Amino acid sequence: MLAIPRQLARLPGWTALVLWTAAVLLPLYILVVSCFKTTAEIYDNRLGLPQSFAFDNFVAAWTRADLGQNFINSLIVTGGAVILTIIVSAMAAYPLSRYRLGWNGIMLGLFLSGIMLPIRLASVELFTLMRNLGLLDSLIGLILVYSAIRIPFAVFIFANFMSVLPSELDEAARMDGAGEARILFQIVLPMVKPAISIVAIFTAIAVWNDFFFPLIFIFDDRYKTVPLAISVFVGQFRTDWGLVFASLAISMAPILIMYCLLARQIREGVGSGGGAK
């Protein structure tokens, strides 16, 4: 008898949770089914499944709108920025967290101050710098800028993870005659794999999604990244809704796959640090 009021009391709570779930999933559902519809079909049949699962819109987005090239560019920039950020940040974090230098604190502080810096406000001077270095309209330029922006967060994460490893670890290796580079890459780095995955995940998301810097630095269609291309499509193919929906689906596919595989790590990473942006 007591169980019923208790279940009933929980009903408003469940309703709220289910409502927000619907608010999240319904737009995404509409996005997915609309990819397979023509514009006329989108108007006639808003929420239903498409008449056929034709890939016309995907093909049109990939070839006619040239999203394929944008996709490859985004992969290169994201991959390059993730690798460069991980290597240089792990290298910097190793002495800062494990040597007694006397200036560890100041140097760490200099890096950490970058986590909060509003770098967009420096975009005028950054533009001049990139132009002088010949890095406008260049994927390498984007990789360098993104790495620079993500280094503070990565150094912070690596230093945190490395500082709690036992000091016997590198001392023993040093006794055996291992060089410092070998200690870092073959002994310390394999022990901070969770840090590597946190840095890789959040750098990849931030870089894949960014729109501001390609907007400023990329003018040539051949070097545009996916978010920049999407922002153009929305206006350009305004009447061809199926194509726009399909290009949105293509651009979120890599993130969706990564999210399904790594949802737990992402949840825990954000819950503990809030370092998603």
Partner 1 sequence: MIARRRKSSLQRTQQRMAVLFIVPALAVYALFVLYPLLMSLWGSFFVWRGLRMLEFAGLSNFTRLFVFPSGGRLYGALWHNVAWFFGIMLFQNGLGLLLAWLLFLRAKGAAFFQSVFFFPAVLSPVIVGALWRLLLAPGGTIEWMLNGLGLHQGSLTVLGNSHTALVMLIAVDAWNWMGLPVLIYTAGLRQISSQIFEAARLDGAGSGRMLVSVALPLLMPAVGTLTTLSFINTFNQFDIVYVMQGVQGNPSYSTDTLVTYFYRLAFGAEGAVGITDIGLALALGTLLFLILSIGTLVMLRFFDRRTVQL
Q: Name residues contacting partner 1, limited to 50-79 (CB under 8 A).
A: none
Alpha carbon 9 to its chain's center: 40
Residue 219 binds to partner 1 (criterion: CB under 8 A):
no
Tokens 């630095």 -> residue: 217
Q: Which is nearer to partner 1, 117 or 172 (CB)?
A: 117
For residue 270, state whether it binds partner 1 (rule: CB under 8 A). Answer: yes
# residues contacting partner 1 (CB under 8 A): 90
- Site for partner 1 contains 216 (CB under 8 A): yes
Residue with smaller CB distance to partner 1, 124 or 164: 124
Among 75, 144, 169, 173, binds partner 1 (CB under 8 A): 144
Which of 109, 118, 166, 190 is close enough to bind partner 1 by CB under 8 A?
118
Does 277 help bind partner 1 (rule: CB under 8 A)? Answer: yes
Taking Cα atoms as reference points, which of 95, 69, 114, 31 lies closest to residue 228? 69
Site for partner 1 in 13-32 (CB under 8 A): 13, 16-17, 20-21, 23-25, 27-28, 30-31
Alpha carbon distance 199, 158 (integer Å): 8
Using CB under 8 A as the binding rule, whether residue 99 contacts partner 1 is answered as: yes
- Residue choice 36, 82, 210, 246 for contact with partner 1 (CB under 8 A): 210
Q: Tokens in use for 77?
A: 């920039």
Q: According to CB under 8 A, which residues from 34 to 53 bind partner 1? A: 43, 46-47
Which listed range, 48-56, 60-68, 189-197, 245-253, lies at the site for partner 1 (CB under 8 A)? 245-253
Looking at the Cβ atoms of 87 and 173, the one nearer to partner 1 is 87
Q: Does 259 bind partner 1 (CB under 8 A)?
A: yes
Tokens found for residue 14: 């469940």
> Residue 218 has which token pair?
């990329």
Residue found under tokens 């994201």: 78
Residue type, 57: N
101: CB partners within 8 A, 6+ apart: 95, 107
Candidates 155, 150, 44; CA nearest to 89 is 155
Told to check if 173 binds partner 1 by CB under 8 A, we report no
106 binds partner 1 (CB under 8 A): no
Question: Per CB under 8 A, does 165 bind partner 1?
Answer: no
From the CA atom positions of the chain, what is the Rg in Å? 24
CB crowding 125-152: b at 16 or more within 10 Å, else e: ebeeebeeeebbbbbebbbbbbbbbbbb
Task: Say if residues 158 and 195 touch (Cβ distance below 8 Å).
Answer: yes
CB of 51 to partner 1, least distance (A): 18
